[in-house]
């Protein structure tokens, strides 16, 4: 059973860097899938942040690209997110998810972590 | 970016009702449309992928249809566990992959 677990610092101050880790269990992150970060502000729809393949190949949402770094640690079966220069607008629940791809179906997010709430506040 | 617009934003229905939720893309997305269900305090759960394919374990009263720009999620007979918020998400072409704003299904 694929399980994902996000971990992070909780509160972050404005202008600082948000750092989150997603630990995957029950499935190797080198097994041919992309892995993504998605966030959801209170009362809003989810927003895709970016995705990474185990080789380090990444896609980012252009709206966040200049502030985002996504990395992978295959030895720990983990992916990580760093978001620089945060503001209150970055307050959200942050999820990691597996992106399944098939040529006939394109991408979809089939396994999700429980999410971690990040609050940006001074 | 491709914008996804869902309608209605909320609806009230009774157990046993047939419920239909619409999702419209701002441009052609072929059949690359996915549906998720989210309950309070939980992560979204994949229901339908590629417009009409039922994810394993999802009950058959839930179905999806559509292609191009217009898509529909149907629950044929609403059950108590179906009261939740539903999101569509497109994965056509290059990212960013975008979600709709959600449709909340409430108990009448």
In terms of C-beta density within 10 A (0-12 exposed, 13-18 middle, 19 or more buried), how is residue A103 classed?
exposed
| Poorest-pLDDT segment among A63-67, B12-16, B42-46, B101-105 | A63-67
Q: For residue A95, what is the nearest residue in chain B, using CA coordinates?
A: B43
Distance of CA A114 to the CA centre of its chain: 12
The predicted-structure confidence for A50-109, as pLDDT tens digits, reads as follows: 999 999 999 999 999 899 999 999 999 999 999 999 999 999 999 999 999 988 888 999
Contacts of A98 in chain B (CB under 8 A): none
Contacts of B92 in chain A (CB under 8 A): 106
**How many whole angstroms separate alpha carbon B76 and alpha carbon B84?**
15
The predicted-structure confidence for A13-59, as pLDDT tens digits, reads as follows: 999 999 999 999 999 999 989 999 999 999 999 999 999 999 999 99
Distance of CA A105 to the CA centre of its chain: 22
Contact (CB<8Å) B87/A105: no
* Residues in a beta bridge with A31: none
Q: Residue A10: what pLDDT?
A: 76
Average pLDDT, chain B: 97
Q: Which among B45, B46, B100 has the least Cβ separation from residue A45? A: B100
Q: Are A98 and A76 in contact (CB under 8 A)?
A: no
The predicted-structure confidence for B74-104, as pLDDT tens digits, reads as follows: 999 999 999 999 999 999 988 999 999 999 9
- Which residues, 6 or more positions from B94, have their beta carbon under 8 angstroms from its beta carbon? none
**How many whole angstroms separate alpha carbon A90 and alpha carbon A83?**
9
Contact (CB<8Å) A108/B89: yes
pLDDT higher than threshold 90 for residue A9: no
pLDDT higher than threshold 80 for residue B13: yes
Chain B residues 26-65 within an 8 A CB cutoff of chain A = 32, 34, 36, 42-46, 49-50, 53, 55
What is the phi/psi pair of residue A67, to 5°?
Answer: -110, -5
pLDDT higher than threshold 80 for residue B22: yes
Q: Establish if A48 touches chain B: CB-CB under 8 angstroms.
A: yes
Q: What angle do CA A50, B1, B20 make, to 5 degrees?
A: 95
More confident residue, B7 or A9: B7
Neighbours of A44 (CB within 10 A): 12
Q: For residue B42, what is the nearest residue in chain A, using CA coordinates?
A: A114
Contacts of A95 in chain B (CB under 8 A): 43-44
One-letter-per-residue 3-state SS of chain A: CCEEEEECCCEECCCCCEEEEEEEECCCCCCCCEEEEEEECCCCCCEEEEEECCCCCEEECCCCHHHEEEEEECCCCEEEEEECCCCHHHCEEEEEEEEEEECCCEEEEEEECCCEEEEECC
**How many whole angstroms separate alpha carbon A115 and alpha carbon A98?**
13
Q: Are B89 and B5 in contact (CB under 8 A)?
A: no
DSSP 8-state code for residue B97:
P
């Amino acid at each position: 059973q694929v399980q994902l677990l996000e971990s992070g610092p909780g509160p972050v101050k404005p202008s600082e860097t948000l750092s989150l880790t997603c630990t995957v269990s029950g499935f190797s992150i080198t097994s041919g899938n992309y892995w993504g970060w998605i966030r959801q502000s209170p009362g809003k729809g989810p927003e895709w942040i970016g995705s990474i393949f185990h080789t380090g190949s990444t896609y980012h949402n252009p709206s966040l690209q200049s502030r985002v770094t996504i990395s992978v640690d295959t030895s720990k079966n983990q992916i990580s997110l760093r978001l620089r220069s945060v503001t209150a607008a970055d307050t959200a629940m942050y999820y990691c998810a597996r992106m399944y791809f098939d040529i006939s179906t394109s991408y979809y997010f089939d396994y999700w972590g429980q999410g971690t709430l990040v609050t940006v506040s001074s | 970016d491709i914008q996804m617009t869902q309608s209605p934003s909320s609806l009230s229905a009774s157990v046993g009702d047939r419920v239909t939720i619409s999702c419209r893309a701002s441009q052609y997305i072929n059949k690359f449309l996915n549906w998720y269900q989210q309950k309070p305090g939980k992560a979204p759960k994949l229901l339908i992928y590629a417009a009409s394919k039922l994810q394993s374990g999802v009950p058959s009263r839930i179905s999806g249809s559509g292609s191009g720009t217009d898509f529909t999620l149907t629950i044929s007979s609403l059950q108590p566990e179906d009261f939740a918020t539903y999101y569509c998400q497109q994965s056509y072409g290059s990212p960013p992959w975008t979600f709709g704003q959600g449709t909340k299904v409430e108990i009448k």
